Amino acid sequence: MSVDAAAQDKKVRLGILLSGRGSNFLAIEESIHAGKLPGVQIAIVISSVAEAAGIAAAAELGLPHAVLASKGRKRAEHDAEVAALLKAHGVDLVCLAGYMRLLSPEFVAAFPHRILNIHPSLLPAFPGLDAQQQAFDYGVKVTGCTVHFVDDELDHGAIILQRSIPVLDGDDAHSLAARILAEEHIAYTEAIARVVSGEYEVRGRRYVKTGSEGASHPSGHKSPAGDPGREQGSK
Ligand code: GRF
């Protein structure tokens, strides 16, 4: 497994960051509960917004949770606090689940290749806010969602997986968003499982499965055991 805790046979500890309704967080929690993510546990849920429904849900579930309000805070300062809290809870893998904050380079560097994000479009199309509306307005016939590693640029890091849906003639932006969200809930669990398995390499921008499920690399290169998820061929 690429996540160090898993290599030591400990549970992989997720840190969930959210700012709103929290349906992706709840989908991840349900997957863990249903045994779909064995060896994974939620170490802490952090919200940047006090009123977020997602943080109320975390409290109700009895999960460790905290509000670190970001409003009016300097990004670097706020990020340092969030990173410290994640570290204090032994977080191995950070999952952004509707976290409405751009992360500072320092935060990204604090969890190298250990931050995932979900975005409601087929990136690189329609990054940023209101991706579903953007896709609808553009008139695309296929859209979907993307789970990717987070790097220093917005909605940009290497793509772990995408799920697509057709845009129907009868859709409006609302119905489209609802069908994308259903795919997001499947995609995030699958992406976490893939990352925790460690059976992948990132070659430049390309996430490539290795191990029994993945195709072998033409050069025959295999990841060394214990850290198969490190970046390959990137500068
Ligand atoms: C999702 O559409 C996600 O793709 C985007 O923010 C939204 C969060 O929804 N990044 P929820 O809070 O998980 O319900």
What confidence tens digit (pLDDT) does each residue in 82-93 have? 999 999 999 999
Residue nearest to atom 14 of ligand 1 (CA): 23
Mean pLDDT (whole number) for 59-82: 96
Judged by average pLDDT, the poorest of 5-9, 149-153, 186-190 is 5-9
Please report, as a single letter, which amino acid is at residue 157: G
pLDDT band at 217 (very low <50, low <70, confident <90, very high): very low
Confidence of residue 223 (pLDDT cuts 50, 70, 90): very low
Best substitution site from 17, 23, 24, 99 to test ligand 1's pocket, by max atoms within 8 Å of Cβ?
24
User: The whole model's pTM is what?
Assistant: 0.89
Residue 92: Cβ-neighbour burial (10 angstroms; 0-12, 13-18, 19+): buried
What percent of the chain shows pLDDT beyond 70?
86
Q: Compute the average pLDDT of residues 169-191.
A: 98
Active site residues: 119
User: Which residue among 17, 18, 23 has the greatest number of ligand 1 atoms within 8 angstroms of its CB, and so is best to mutate?
Assistant: 23
Residue 47 Cβ contacting ligand 1 at under 6 Å: no
- The residue whose CA has the least distance to atom 5 of ligand 1 is 98
Q: Residue 134 has what pLDDT?
A: 98
- Mean pLDDT computed over 183-195: 98
Confirm or reject: Cβ of 23 under 6 Å from ligand 1: yes
pLDDT for 211 equals 78
Burial (CB count within 10 angstroms: exposed 0-12, middle 13-18, buried 19+), residue 172: exposed
Ligand 1 atom nearest the C-alpha of 18 is: 12
* CA–CA distance, 63 with 22 (Å, rounded to integer): 14
Whether the predicted pLDDT of 143 surpasses 90? yes
CB 144 less than 6 A from any atom of ligand 1: no
CA 17–ligand 1 middle distance (angstroms)? 11
Pure H helices in 61-202: 75-88, 105-110, 131-138, 173-197
CA of 180 to the centre of ligand 1 (A): 10
Euclidean distance between CA atoms 16 and 95, whole angstroms = 5
- pLDDT band, residue 1 (cuts 50/70/90): very low
pLDDT reading at 128 higher than 90:
yes
Q: What is the CATH number of domain 4-212?
A: 3.40.50.170
* From 31, 96, 117, 184, mutation site for ligand 1 pocket: most ligand atoms within 8 A of C-beta: 184
- At residue 210, what is the residue type? T
